[in-house]
Structure formats: C-alpha cells, structure tokens
A = this chain, B = another copy of it.
Amino acid sequence: ETSSKLLDGKLIAKKIRDEIAGEIDGIKESTGIVPGLAVILVGSRKDSQTYVRNKKKACEDVGIASYEANLAEDCSEEEVMKHISNFNNNPSVHGILVQLPLPRHMNEEKILNAVSIEKDVDGFHPLNIGRLAMQGREPLFVPCTPKGCMELLHRYEIEIKGKRAVVIGRSNIVGMPAALLLQRANATVTMVHSYTKNPEEITKQADIVISAAGVANLVRGSWLKPGAVVVDVGINPVDDTGSARGYRLVGDVCFEEACKVASAITPVPGGVGPMTIAMLLSNTLSSAKRLHELR
C-alpha cells in the first residue's frame, strides 16, 4: 500500500497559473500592458515541437502574448542571432526562450549569451547562475525546472533549512541550479553525478532528494531514507507494448517502491513537468513587471 503523500504538481501548477492569470488581467486593465514571451525553435525535433506547443498554449491560457520564430534545422547561427536581437529590441517581448537542444552545428553558449539578461526567462545566462551561486546576490531569473521543484516544496510546506538534501544530476539547466537553490534555502546539499561512488548510500542519508539524472528507475526504494521527500524531475521513455506509441514516460525514481518509503513524492507525469511551465509563465510576468517598473 502507498503511504506517501503525492506532491501534486498538476494541481499546484493550475493554482499558480490561475494566480498569474488574475494578476495579468489586473495589469492589462490598469495599464494596458500585455506580457509577451518569444520562443525560438530551430529544426523539427518532435519533442521540441511538443514542448513549444505546450508553452504557447500555457501562455494563451493566462493572457501572455506569444511570439514564435521557427527556423530550419540548417539555418545559420547568424540567423538565430538576428532573431534574438530583434526580440531583445522588441518592447512587447519580456521573455525570450531558445528551445534546446540546438542543432549540432551551432554554438549553444554563444547563442544563449546573446539573449538579453533582462529577458532571459530561462535563467541560463552565466551572470544569472553566478548570482544564484553567490550569497547576497539575487538572480534576475531562476531556471524554471529547479524553481518549480522548490515552489512545490514550499507550497506543501516542506521544511528545507537544516535538512540533508541530495541532488542527483548536475546539468546546467536542472541539477546544478537545484543544488544552489537548496543551499540558498540552507539545506546541506550533496551533488551526486555519474562519477559518484555509492550513490545509494549517499542518497539514503537525505531528507530531500531531487533526481534529475535522466535514467529510468535509477532510484529504488532501497535508496531512500524512510520519510524522505522525493522530487522526481526525470522524464524517460521506456518500452511499453501496451501503449499506442510503443513507449511510456517514467521518472528517475521507481515509484512503486519509493512511495512505500518516502513521506511525499512527485508523480511522473503530473509532478515537476507542469510546475516547470508554470514557472516560465511566472518568470515572464515578473520580467514584464520589472521592465515596465510595475509595483
């Protein structure tokens, strides 16, 4: 039987989107300003197209105007840079998002650095990450996925200060900023990655586990301390002949086992995924407010 509380990202994300929609309504009414998000998609990866479509739909629902640049797989870096520059200079655009991954022939660092730091709603600019890492500094934007993890913990009133936390994975967009955020909230953080020996033993010491390794069923029930809180960021396809697509999506955590040990756990799907999109909307709204000096 299940003993874990479900950290219902879908439900919380819906609440947050409603809050955002309400705030945007108010701003439109009193100032006429409409927050705007621009998305740059290069190439025609199916998964990227789905992500972009979902983001556009989410914008629409809360009253954020969305702008799109769809570029061919074989377009030049310069072309991408030109679109970024246009969006940087467009006062109706408050957030700019470059859908990753970019085609191999492009320099991701160069392209991401071109996004104006004031519109970097993904929070991937090194200046933002530096501020996130530093005491006494504030990033303009916090990367959406780790921000979504933290927001979920906050909404469920899970204490972080003084707790042991383990983050599995250290990517620039999820693991590393998640570790920095937990540490800012005064958890004692250990970062686990592919060179870590005994990840099971280390993870078992944690009161809070955030897993973003991209490996299905990596975290078993035996990896968890009884009563731990588990946030599963992973989205991993596994074969499933019973499904029409031939696969289904699972997290990094073996849910059936973990839910018997953890005190609280996010489902996949319906956990961190919806929170990520809600945070993108939240970052776009904050950006519009900052750029227009509202409140």
Contact = CB atoms under 8 A, between A and B. Distances in A.
Interface of A: 109, 125-137, 161-162, 164, 170-172, 176, 180, 183, 186-193, 195-197, 202
Nearest to A172: B134
Interface-centre pick from A127, A128, A186 (highest chain B CB count, 10 A): A127
Given A161-B195, A188-B192, A172 B136 contact: yes
Complex copy number for this chain: 2
Contacts of A170: 135, 183
A127 B171 CA distance: 18
A256 B276 CA distance: 51
A125 B132 CA distance: 12
Nearest to A171: B135
10 contacts: A128-B130, A129-B129, A129-B133, A132-B133, A133-B133, A133-B176, A134-B172, A186-B193, A188-B193, A188-B197
A185 B211 CA distance: 21
B162 A196 contact: yes
A250 B103 CA distance: 54
B126 A180 contact: no
A135 B196 contact: no
Contacts of A109: 136-137
A228 to B, nearest CB: 15
A132 B129 CA distance: 9
A132 B135 CA distance: 15
Contacts of A202: 164, 188
A130 to B, nearest CB: 3
Given A183-B170, A192-B188, A196-B188, A126 B135 contact: no
Give the interface centre of A128, A129, A172 by most chain B CB atoms within 10 Å.
A129
Nearest to A189: B191
B137 A180 contact: no
A189 B195 CA distance: 11
A5 B161 CA distance: 37
Contacts of A133: 126, 129-130, 132-133, 176, 180
B195 A162 contact: yes
Contacts of A190: 188-190
Contacts of A128: 130
